[in-house]
Amino acid sequence: MGPPDFYHIIPGLQIISNLEEPDFLPSLARPVAGDGTPAFTQVEPHKAMDKSDPKAFYTQRREELYQGEEVLKAWEGRLGLARFGVALIGCYFGWSTFANHSLSGWWLFGAVVQFIVLLAIHERINRRWFRQRMARHSVEMGIERMADRWMGRGNAGLRFLRDDHPYAQDLDIFGNHSLFERICLCQTRIGEDKLAAMFLQAGSPEEIRQRQQALGELAPMGDIRERMYAYSKDAAPVDLNPLEKWGGMPVSRIPLGVRLLALVLSAITFYGFFAWIAGTWDLWIWSASFMVTLILHLIFKSVTRPVLEIVEKQATDLSRLGGMLRLIEKKDFKSQLLNEARKRLHARKETPSRAIGKLWVYADLLTSRKNALFAPLALALSWDLHITHLVEKWRFKNGDHLADWFATLGEFDALISMAAYAFENPDHTYANLVENETPFLHADAAGHPLISSARCVRNDIRLGGTEPRLLVISGSNMSGKSTYLRTVGMTAVMALSGLPVRARKVILSPMQVGASMRIIDSLAAGRSRFQAEIERVRLLVKLCDKKPPLLFLLDEIFSGTNSHDRLEGAKGVVGGLMTKEAIGIVTTHDLALTRIAEESGVPADNVHFSDRWEEQEMHFDYKMRPGVTRHSNALALMRAVGLEV
């Protein structure tokens, strides 16, 4: 939970307290070295810090941010004492003014003003302190990710899982311990949508190149990641869909005459109340004005309520949204993708962050009317009518632009997540995409990105081009066949999204990816595993009718039927895929299926993964070797767990 939103007793005080990065704070929040220079930078990472070693950078940065927290914490305590002292002085001035009559009321007024100023400064310090803690948390999470302690602690992206997608479920793109969970740091739901779309649909060669350039520029910018995370307030990602829909709705207009009447009544009510206290007005004048104001409020409640509800609900998100947009607006980017995004946000005279900031001011003023002390005055001043007019005037001017702003922010949000992954994995490499009519995927020392570095065994990938178009992998249980298939698929998906890949070198052509690996039956749908598998294979065959060519990954194809049908079916399917210029891999336990490589009529190879049995234990090296495996470990594994076979 973020810090509480205090001080709605006085409308607009929170607006003062929430001003972004107040100028006087750095001097308060930075310890100063003996030469007069700041000893550390509070929000922006020090330019002299070495970013070639991500772990060392994160460790040093965590210490800097912690020091900043301690300084801000000290100032927060001092301001708390100052507020308490001013409150005591104010009580004395109040007693002296109203009870003792020894001091002028101006002394009390001065104390009240000073207390309000201290409240605002205290709130700004408090929010800066909170953002400092959130920035430190983002750095600590980076350390955890690099130590392979990220599983189960991130966003699994379960809402993107689809049974009908050709590879998302098979390759662990979404779900627990998935690629999405490892990479996603998005602070907006539209950012999550953009990131998921990049994983689900390969980009064009130009899009991939632009993303790679953008990630190369964003990766060392730790300050942007910290600031983006600090705006999260440790809450769920911002859902911008309600605001986007609201922006496209018809604008509700309050007639000019009604607005003028409300303004006059507000002035009369406000002045009349104090005039009545002073004894210069009769109570009935103030009462009559207040009653007309109340009637006006009830008449137009059906107009004001729908407008104000959506703005009030999004009040917290608006404060986060403005800060996120400002990150893009203020930065000078060199890469084409990021520079174009910044230009889109500067297309109008008023920047989106400034426009959103105004809407947030209106939302904050609306929230003030819910305070028990201010609510009667808000009603007397026709608060809802005035704010509704301002909000609808804002929507008339900016509503149609919300979708474009949010789309730009979502893309930036997704790229920041990908850039963090690129920064934290300096051993990864960006793929070289070659536009070629003949499909191919070549990678040196490719490893699965979700396996810890200490346990990951790397193998080369050679498919298509001058290499075989088909690999048939045989091998014993647990030897690494399925993991290799997922490594190949993940390498292609990451490369085609623009991400760096766990490999020394990757070169590939544009391609589609399709897999049949994790097929399960469905009791609810009345569908057997074999039926689910043939439906998936049919989907892959249909993909071959589209461009670009298909990379298919078939694990234990048609294992749900007898050996004869399995062999004939596999030969027919693979042969059909080969006639359509596809490339791919088939794994099998059934050595009879290894004949597919010889009978396919295209360049194909048999390869295998092996094991060895030593001291009553099975040992695997997970290295791919040429040829067909010559033994099985199934019986040995059964005996190892105590089965009498």
481-496 mean pLDDT: 95
Q: Using alpha carbons, select from 565, 467, 544 the residue that is nearest to residue 508.
A: 467
Cβ atoms of 191 and 417 within 8 Å: the answer is: yes
Taking phi over 0 as left and psi of -120 to 50 as alpha, with beta for the rest, 558 belongs to left
In the sheet with 583-588, reading across from the earlier edge strand, the strands are 512-516, 550-555, 583-588, 470-475, 604-614, 617-626
Residues 273-332 have pLDDT tens digits of: 656 555 555 566 666 666 776 776 666 676 667 777 777 777 777 878 888 899 899 888
**pLDDT of residue 449 exceeding 60:** yes
Helix axes 336-345, 315-330, angle to 10 degrees: 120
**241 vs 313: CA distance, rounded Å:** 12
**pLDDT of residue 579 exceeding 60:** yes
Reported confidence tier of residue 23, pLDDT bands at 50, 70, 90:
very low
At 350, which helix (H) or strand (E)? none
88-113 mean pLDDT: 79
Place of tokens 């909000």: 391
**613 vs 476: CA distance, rounded Å:** 12
Comparing 170 with 612, the larger pLDDT belongs to 170
pLDDT over 70 percentage in the chain: 76
- CATH 3.40.50.300 domain span(s) along the chain: 432-640
Least confident of 26-40, 157-171, 242-256: 26-40
Q: Using alpha carbons, select from 167, 160, 159 the residue that is nearest to residue 536.
A: 167
DSSP-derived pairing of the beta strands 583-588 and 470-475: parallel
pLDDT over 90 percentage in the chain: 32
Start-end of H helices in 95-104: none
**pLDDT of residue 619 exceeding 90:** no
Cβ atoms of 179 and 195 within 8 Å: the answer is: no
348-363 mean pLDDT: 88
**pLDDT of residue 391 exceeding 80:** yes
Q: Using alpha carbons, select from 203, 520, 210, 151 the residue that is nearest to residue 335.
A: 210
DSSP-derived pairing of the beta strands 440-446 and 505-508: antiparallel
**255 vs 242: CA distance, rounded Å:** 26
Six token digits for residue 445: 């020392």
- 531, with CB counted inside 10 A (0-12, 13-18, 19+), is middle
Question: Which of 2-6, 169-173, 251-255 is modeled with the greatest confidence?
Answer: 169-173
Comparing 439 with 475, the larger pLDDT belongs to 439
Mean of the per-residue pLDDT values of the chain: 80
**585 vs 463: CA distance, rounded Å:** 9
**pLDDT of residue 125 exceeding 80:** yes
- 164, with CB counted inside 10 A (0-12, 13-18, 19+), is exposed
**pLDDT of residue 506 exceeding 80:** yes
**623 vs 604: CA distance, rounded Å:** 19
What kind of fold does domain 432-640 have according to CATH? Rossmann fold (3.40.50)
| pLDDT score at 490 | 97
| pLDDT score at 218 | 94
Least confident of 100-104, 287-291, 503-507, 574-578: 287-291
130-149 mean pLDDT: 89
3-9 mean pLDDT: 39
| pLDDT score at 561 | 66
- Phi first, then psi: give them for residue 472, nearest 5 degrees: -110, 115
**pLDDT of residue 249 exceeding 70:** yes
Comparing 327 with 638, the larger pLDDT belongs to 327
| pLDDT score at 105 | 67
245-256 mean pLDDT: 75
6-30 mean pLDDT: 40
CB contact burial 421-446 (16+ within 10 A = b; e otherwise): bbbbbeebbbbebeebeebbbbbeeb
**432 vs 420: CA distance, rounded Å:** 21
At 463, which helix (H) or strand (E)? strand 459-464
Q: Using alpha carbons, select from 60, 64, 65, 73 the residue that is nearest to residue 28.
A: 73
- Phi first, then psi: give them for residue 584, nearest 5 degrees: 180, -175
In the three-class reduction of DSSP (H, G, I as helix; E, B as strand; rest coil), residue 126 is classed as helix
232-260 mean pLDDT: 75
Reported confidence tier of residue 7, pLDDT bands at 50, 70, 90:
very low
532-554 mean pLDDT: 89
Q: Using alpha carbons, select from 423, 427, 419 the residue that is nearest to residue 505.
A: 427
Reported confidence tier of residue 431, pLDDT bands at 50, 70, 90:
very high
Comparing 82 with 265, the larger pLDDT belongs to 82
| pLDDT score at 27 | 36
| pLDDT score at 557 | 80
Dihedral sign computed on CA atoms, order 20, 22, 25, 30 = positive
| pLDDT score at 637 | 59
Helix axes 563-579, 529-543, angle to 10 degrees: 10
| pLDDT score at 33 | 34
Reported confidence tier of residue 448, pLDDT bands at 50, 70, 90:
very high
In the three-class reduction of DSSP (H, G, I as helix; E, B as strand; rest coil), residue 47 is classed as coil
Comparing 87 with 444, the larger pLDDT belongs to 444
- The pTM is what? 0.82
